[in-house]
Structure 1
Amino acid sequence: MLKVSNVKVSLKQARKEPAKILASYLNVREKSLSQVTLLKRSIDARKGKVHYICTYAFSYPDEEELMQKQKQVSVYQPYHYPIPKPINKTTIVVGSGPAGLFCTWLLAKSGSPVILLERGSCVEKRIQAVDTFFETGLLNERSNVQFGEGGAGTFSDGKLTTGIKDPRVTQVLKTFVEYGAPEDILYEAKPHIGTDYLRKLLINMRYDLLAMGAIIRFESQVTDVLIENGRVQGVEINHQEKLLADAVVLAIGHSARDTFEMLYQRKVPMEAKPFAVGVRIEHPQTQINTVQYGEHASQLKPASYKLSYHAADGRGVYTFCMCPGGQVVAAASEKERLVTNGMSEYARAKANANSAVLVNVGTADFGSDHPLAGMYYQRELEGRAFRLGQGHYHAPVSLLQDYMKHQLSSGLGKIEPSYQPGWQFANLHQLFSEAMNDDLKAGLAYFGTRLKGFDRPDAILTGVESRSSSPVRLVRDGTLSSAIAGLYPCGEGAGYAGGIMSAAVDGLKVAEIILGGSK
């Protein structure tokens, strides 16, 4: 097969079949092309001339001749992910987020015995618990936006963008499509599933894992790891049952704080990791669409943005997890601690765009170099946010103009906060240090020069965004194992991924190692 990249396609042309577009571009007969596949599509909106940039794969009768005539055409080799042979050893995977699910998937696909343990509920029960929380403020600490089938990503935008270049990304995307994700994630430059599709996908994946022989247990929190003579022997579940295994994969996610504390007590090597904290900002999605796409906005999917700023004191300030047409959600997992996140469905059809605006933090902010200092810092911030919102998991909110002036807001402009179960005007300066507030304000002002209207006075700021990534790294060696033999830290919670895709890929890598491969 062959491949051609950087094909400019107008919005009008994009309505045609890929074979017609490609035949015109290559100046060949359409009938001479076969197996035409759109591999990648991105939007180029620079200078107001909006169009797509596409990459296609295809077959052609005389491929050597075409490559000589068309220098932009090259050989294309489709990626095929090899499934390793089974092993007769039992693996326990702790956590059913992307890392845990894909680790379990490969172990089960190979025919090897695997047990998946999840502290939260299956997605059907989890949705009920989260809906109750959003409506009433009654938090279920075991099953919530952070914990349960699918991990924290189940209540997010389902973004599948990643900076890693690992070929396993292709397999992850294909697997998502097999379980019900929209096929456009295979070629969109900024793919996303949406929380609605993601929930259905998880159920389909669960049934397939069970059919392949995996054992899946929900509401089964790992309360201890069993270690003997420097090697893992298994785990304790819910302070009661002991389950033995040859290997244990810790795909625990970034919010399993009690598990981090237990692992620290068990002397599992770990270290504090820098991360970022801040607030969520909301604008009208129509505003973002118009600024990004101009007169073409109605012909395109809701627009996104990504902005960054280097503050004078060296900190980075940046937007993160931007959710077009979504909502700000209550993402708490502990009593009297409040944290936000962003979520949107596949259509991204809600009124507001939202994104985190974050500033980097490290040991100097934590006040300690203790391995769990960052986690304790998160707890402190979230407790402060809970109190600023005056309880009931109501979030502290400020208009951007008032945050910039260090004052309390007295009324809304044209934008309504989307956060549930409620919100309260508060002075968000009370969340952060003076230096962090200065950096956030400088970043917000700068972003207004990069994206028109970003710094509009009535933009909504909601606090606090504190779980952008794990505050802890569980140390592992070149074989992806902890110093404790048979114990494999994995995914975002272990500090080796950031987002759905890189976590899923890390899960595959760990499974490959367990099955006798190399990373």
Structure 2
Amino acid sequence: MIRLTEIRLPLDHAPEALRAAVCARLGVAEGDVQAVQVFRRGYDARRRGAIEFVYTLDCRLPDEGEVLTRLAGNAKIGPTPDTTYRPVSSRGSEVAGAPGFVRPVVIGTGPCGFMAALILAQMGLRPIVLERGKPVRERTVDTFALWRRGELTPESNVQFGEGGAGTFSDGKLYSGVSDPRHYGRKLMDEFVRAGAPEEILTVSKPHIGTFRLVSMVEHIRASIEALGGEYRFGTRVEDFVIDQDVSGARRLTGLVLSDGTTLAATHAIMAVGHSARDTFEVLHARGVAMQAKPFSIGVRIEHPQSIIDAARFGPQAGHPALGAADYKLVHKASNGRGVYSFCMCPGGTVVAATSEVGQVVTNGMSQYSRAERNANAGIVVEVTPERDYPDGPLAGLAFQRHWERQAFVAGGGSYHAPAQRVGDFLAGRASTALGTVEPSYRPGVTPTDLSTCLPDFAVEAIREALPHFARSLNGFAMEDAVMTAVETRTSSPVRIPRGPDGQSVNTAGLYPAGEGAGYAGGILSAGIDGIRMAEAVTTALCGVEATL
């Protein structure tokens, strides 16, 4: 097939316009085009009032070689790449059936963990999957208990449980990671098989939404179990058994579990997510190499979705082909701090996302429809170990906890979030009441002064950034827009270094993976990293070579 990029058509184009555009670009008759498929569809909203769809198309012709030769040198025309995912080994079942085989272990069932487990299961290696939390539907009940009644279950919440933190999010499936082996396409195909809408294969910014993610992760678990994988819920890894030989080389040999047993483990993918603070502390105590890593801190900001739609789409706001508008904003503050929008959720809600008692954390979530009244996004400020928490690998954890406790106090001590009108925040005065924008955070908010639960440098940087953002997105600094605090879980505060074989640089058999280990940021990149680490384990067990 032939791939054509940058095919531009108006929003209201007829279906047959795709074929006509292919013919015009290639200089062929309509009868010569045997098939046209949409590979990717996005839109260009830079000219409000003249928004266009932008397509990448694949087409089939009877003599594709002649067309490619004739149009050689045109950067927007070329052969369609082969995006087929190819397993690294076919020996998994043979290896798993050998005497003395120790089954690989996956710790965590977020996108990284369940994709790692799925690949291992498809390779025939029958993984054991450990999850400290509950199955996704039971976990959802516990999460709603926090949102509705202020009742936190520390092992079952937005952060912990089947599906990981991404389950309660917008379900975004796009990333800037390099993907030469088409892991992303493999992930998308598996998601569609598990019940995701087929449009995620073609739209430029695919998303799934929370409710669909719930059923998806259940289907993926069923696939893993059908292939010989084993799930163990309510099973937290309490410790790591690490043997050291006379040369000083260290190797993982077992995992001490919360039920008091020790599981033999020589190949364990650690996909614990960015909030498994107790696990990070145990790893550090056991001498596993670890570094403090930058992350960001800030607030969630909410506007009426209609304000964002009008600012982004102008007179075409509300067009059914466009849906709810999103945005991406960046500013370099005069104090040297980067400020940016994070995890923008069109037509969504702000959610309580803490996993520890006596702390408040905010995050954003959308359903597939993106039909709620407000848009929300994190407005966050970069923090770094060198400037802000220089006291060792775990200092970022202490930094996060401090500001999460401050937010808990400022919110009234009942998991209510502290909130402030943008107008009051910019004026440097506490909010005593809120205005026309009704905050979506549950169990509720407490109007206050957010400067009590943010570092001074973050307050300064956000105050400077909001008017700057309003210059590119009209209405962004509206008086009644609401900010809730505190957003701290933008990424992991630690990185667990690994070598080119995927293993910890000083502990063989331990495969740090995903967001928690500092190698991903979001569902797609975490899932891709899970696939990569599953291949690394397969390489080690089956004696094949793979480029990670």
Equivalent residue in structure 2 for 1:422, among 444, 449, 459? 444
Is structure 2 residue 149 aligned with structure 1 residue 136?
yes
What pairs with 1:358-377 in structure 2 (closer than 5 Å)?
358-364=380-386, 366-377=388-399
Moved more, 430-439 or 28-37: 28-37
* Other-structure match for 2:521: 498
Residues 436-459 of structure 1, C-alpha deviations (whole Å, 9 max, x = no match): 211111111210111111011111
What pairs with 1:481-496 in structure 2 (closer than 5 Å)?
481-482=503-504, 483-496=506-519
TM-score, structure 1 normalization: 0.97
Aligned AA for 1:495? G
* Other-structure match for 1:264: 284
Runs (4 or more) in structure 1 with deviation over 6 Å come to: none
8 Å CA contact 1:181–1:197 kept in 2: the answer is yes
Aligned AA for 1:358? V
* Other-structure match for 1:53: 54
SS of equivalent to 2:485: strand
Deviation of 1:21 (Å): 5.0
8 Å CA contact 1:18–1:37 kept in 2: the answer is no
* Other-structure match for 2:363: 341
Change beyond 3 A, Cα 1:387–1:112: same
* Other-structure match for 1:8: 8
Alpha-carbon distance in 1 for matches of 2:121, 2:221: 11
SS of equivalent to 2:280: helix
Moved more, 325-334 or 237-246: 237-246
SS of equivalent to 2:47: helix
Residues 1-29 of structure 1, C-alpha deviations (whole Å, 9 max, x = no match): 11000000111116557445534654544
8 Å CA contact 1:223–1:239 kept in 2: the answer is no
Alpha-carbon distance in 1 for matches of 2:455, 2:386: 12
Deviation of 1:42 (Å): 1.3
8 Å CA contact 1:8–1:52 kept in 2: the answer is yes
SS of equivalent to 1:469: coil
8 Å CA contact 1:271–1:370 kept in 2: the answer is yes
* Other-structure match for 1:252: 272
Moved more, 58-67 or 362-371: 362-371
Alpha-carbon distance in 2 for matches of 1:15, 1:419: 41
Alpha-carbon distance in 2 for matches of 1:396, 1:16: 53
* Other-structure match for 2:82: 78
Is structure 2 residue 423 aligned with structure 1 residue 401?
yes
Alpha-carbon distance in 1 for matches of 2:15, 2:133: 44
Deviation of 1:392 (Å): 1.2
Alpha-carbon distance in 1 for matches of 2:502, 2:204: 30
* Other-structure match for 2:110: 97
Residues 350-372 of structure 1, C-alpha deviations (whole Å, 9 max, x = no match): 00000000000112554433100
Moved more, 11-20 or 197-206: 11-20
SS of equivalent to 1:462: strand
Deviation of 1:242 (Å): 1.0
Deviation of 1:147 (Å): 0.4
* Other-structure match for 1:289: 309
Alpha-carbon distance in 1 for matches of 2:419, 2:295: 23
8 Å CA contact 2:235–2:259 kept in 1: the answer is no
SS of equivalent to 1:429: helix
Change beyond 3 A, Cα 1:14–1:125: farther
Deviation of 1:294 (Å): 1.5
8 Å CA contact 1:366–1:373 kept in 2: the answer is no
Deviation of 1:489 (Å): 0.4
Residues 454-513 of structure 1, C-alpha deviations (whole Å, 9 max, x = no match): 011111000000000000111211211111110110000000111111111111111111
Aligned AA for 1:9? L
Is structure 2 residue 327 aligned with structure 1 residue 305?
yes
Alpha-carbon distance in 2 for matches of 1:16, 1:340: 46
8 Å CA contact 2:195–2:215 kept in 1: the answer is yes
Alpha-carbon distance in 2 for matches of 1:193, 1:264: 36
Is structure 2 residue 202 aligned with structure 1 residue 187?
yes
Number of aligned residues:
519
Is structure 2 residue 190 aligned with structure 1 residue 175?
yes
Deviation of 1:165 (Å): 2.5
Alpha-carbon distance in 2 for matches of 1:22, 1:177: 27
SS of equivalent to 1:249: strand
Moved more, 218-227 or 328-337: 218-227
SS of equivalent to 2:377: strand
Aligned AA for 2:533? V
8 Å CA contact 1:145–1:331 kept in 2: the answer is yes
Is structure 2 residue 171 aligned with structure 1 residue 158?
yes
Is structure 2 residue 146 aligned with structure 1 residue 117?
no
SS of equivalent to 1:13: coil
Deviation of 1:224 (Å): 0.8
Identity of aligned pairs, percent? 41
Moved more, 275-284 or 472-481: 472-481
Alpha-carbon distance in 2 for matches of 1:457, 1:353: 16
Structure 2 unaligned segments of length 5 or more: list them: 245-249, 540-545
* Other-structure match for 2:434: 412
Deviation of 1:387 (Å): 0.3
Aligned AA for 2:86? P
Change beyond 3 A, Cα 1:17–1:129: farther
Alpha-carbon distance in 2 for matches of 1:222, 1:17: 56
Change beyond 3 A, Cα 1:199–1:24: farther
What pairs with 1:451-470 in structure 2 (closer than 5 Å)?
451-470=473-492
Moved more, 468-477 or 80-89: 80-89
Residues 86-134 of structure 1, C-alpha deviations (whole Å, 9 max, x = no match): 1434111000011111111111001012101001100110111111111
8 Å CA contact 1:99–1:504 kept in 2: the answer is yes
Alpha-carbon distance in 2 for matches of 1:346, 1:264: 39
8 Å CA contact 2:491–2:521 kept in 1: the answer is yes
Moved more, 140-149 or 59-68: 59-68
Alpha-carbon distance in 2 for matches of 1:371, 1:145: 25
Deviation of 1:64 (Å): 2.2
Alpha-carbon distance in 2 for matches of 1:102, 1:470: 19
Residues 405-436 of structure 1, C-alpha deviations (whole Å, 9 max, x = no match): 12111222221000001110110011223222
Moved more, 60-69 or 314-323: 60-69
Deviation of 1:400 (Å): 0.4
Alpha-carbon distance in 1 for matches of 2:338, 2:526: 23
